[in-house]
Structure 1
Amino acid sequence: MEKHIVKILSITEVTHDVKSFRIEKPAGYGFMPGQATEVSVNKPGWEKERRPFTFTSLNEESTLEFTIKRYADHNGVTNQIHQLVPGDELILRDVWGAIEYKGPGYFIAGGAGITPFIAILRQLKKDGRASGNVLYFSNKTAFDVILENELYEILGKDAHFILSKNETPGYEHGYINRAFLDTNVTDLRKHFYVCGPDRMISDVNGALEQMGVQPDAVVFEK
């Protein structure tokens, strides 16, 4: 297994509990939009605590980016990463992941599950191929929405933000479930890209199966 020690170059606040980390890119290191790697903090006691994070930069860039949500309810890896500063080091490993763009479709994301789709949508925008794709992005509140303005810029009226906790002007309210999909999905022949909490993935995939979507049209991390 490859192992690369890289420095953090810069850190950007994205939401109240999400930061983007711009880091060094090892020579010859490449990935496809939607792929991930296992990351650990290069500090005593944390080197072997590995967690998967998706690249949110594009492969052609000279640096790498991860957009990481902090889970502060326990002293885990994300909590440690959010305490780092530029100059601190991370450990990267092999690239992996089954989420890749296969054609126009519906991107269905919950919370930090948007991260595999960020690089995909950025690449589509750069290539002039974003049209024909629709995003349904579920969060608890408007304060939790990651990169809302950029997603609007990429997809325009085809970017939909659904809030499950609060009713907020300018946002849809509810849950992405079978009833939601029945109402909003108009073309079952398209691809479906699904990422979020395990329960959400299971529920959405089950609903799509009931609706008659072919299994090979559903793209998710197995």
Structure 2
Amino acid sequence: MEHIVRILDIAQVTHNVKAFRVEKPDDYVFEPGQATEVSINQQGWEDEKRPFTFTSLNDQHYLEFTIKGYFDHDGVTNKLHSLVTGDELIVRDIWGAIAYKGEGTFIAGGAGITPFISILRQLHKDGRLQGNQLFFANQTEDDIIYKDELDQMLGNNVQYLLSRAQGSGKYPVGRIDADYLKTHIKDFSQHFYVCGPDEMVKDISDLLTDLGAQPDAVVFEK
């Protein structure tokens, strides 16, 4: 089912990420971590569907999508970043396999943080965030999405890792590999939530199970 929704607000999150708040259709219900297919309600773009996760909470009166723009070609995200308040999007049915199952470790790469934003915001609102931690890998410090909010919600339970040295120099440079996981995780019987580029998700999911995590306790979008 398709719903045409108007953009209510657009906010710049990082140098190449924007948050789009749009109208919420009546009786439109989702769980934190879920997504929908979105397209732009303009001629020639209506059928260019892309999956985006909700970063708002279900009880808010709007839907929010936090979207990274890729400007090296004239694609959907490039077009989305050119839109203004009042333009329209098309949203569709709700889907998604990333759901919170209990306390654990969230591991995100770049824009892969987006399915976790709604989950973490809901846990924070409900006072249930304690006991969870986040490892968040990015290219540079400037690429970290919602850094201030993550710091505020998670405090010392968020760890950033950069692939390129840049900015303040306060964050380690490297990648989330077996050594990193063994250094930072003492209990592999917990839940794990993984989202990012496909290769990263596969590599980390395999590493976690090799290190003792139960396969059904590693949650990622299949």
**Alpha-carbon distance in 1 for matches of 2:72, 2:203:** 25
Contact 1:6-1:25 at 8 Å conserved across structures: yes
Q: For residue 11 of structure 1, what is the aligned residue in structure 2?
A: 10
Counterpart in the other structure of 2:124: 125
Q: Which residue of 1 aligns with 2:169?
A: 169
Query: After superposition, where does 1:56-205 map in structure 2 within 5 Å?
Result: 56-166=55-165, 168-205=168-205
Which residue of structure 1 aligns with residue 49 of structure 2? 50
How far 1:134 moved relative to its partner? 0.6
Q: Contact 1:160–1:172 (CA<8 Å) still a contact in 2?
A: no
Q: Distance in 1 between matches of 2:160 and 2:90?
A: 34
The percentage of counterpart residues that share the same residue type is: 60
C-alpha separation between the residues in 1 aligned to 2:184 and 2:172?
12
Distance 2:73 2:199 in 1: 21
User: Which amino acid in structure 2 is aligned with residue 194 of structure 1?
Assistant: V
Please give the per-residue CA displacement for 1:37-69, whole angstroms capped at 9, x wherever unaligned: 000000111100000000000000011100000
3-state secondary structure, aligned to 2:20 = strand
Q: What amino acid does structure 1 have at the position aligned with 2:76?
A: V
1:173, distance to aligned residue in structure 2 (A): 1.7
Supply the RMSD in Å over aligned alpha carbons: 0.8
- TM-superposed CA distance for 1:186, in Å, is 1.2
Instruction: Give the secondary-structure state (helix, strand or coil) at the position aligned to 2:213.
Output: coil
* C-alpha distance in 1 between matches for 2:172 and 2:64: 30
* TM-score, structure 2 as length reference: 0.98
Runs of 4+ displaced beyond 4 Å: none
The amino acid of 1:169's aligned partner reads G
Whether contact under 8 Å (2:189, 2:212) holds in the other structure is no
2-side partners of 1:96 and 1:186: how far apart? 33
Give the total of aligned pairs. Answer: 221
Report the Cα offset of residue 76 of structure 1.
0.8
User: Structure 1: where are the runs of 5+ without partners?
Assistant: none
Report deviation, 1:171: 1.2
- CA deviation after TM superposition for structure 1 residue 172, in Å: 2.1
Question: What is the distance in 2 between the residues matched to 1:186 and 1:95?
Answer: 36
Could you tell me whether the CA contact under 8 Å between 1:20 and 1:67 is conserved in 2? Answer: yes
Instruction: Report deviation, 1:96.
Output: 0.2
- What TM-score do you get using the length of structure 1 for normalisation? 0.98
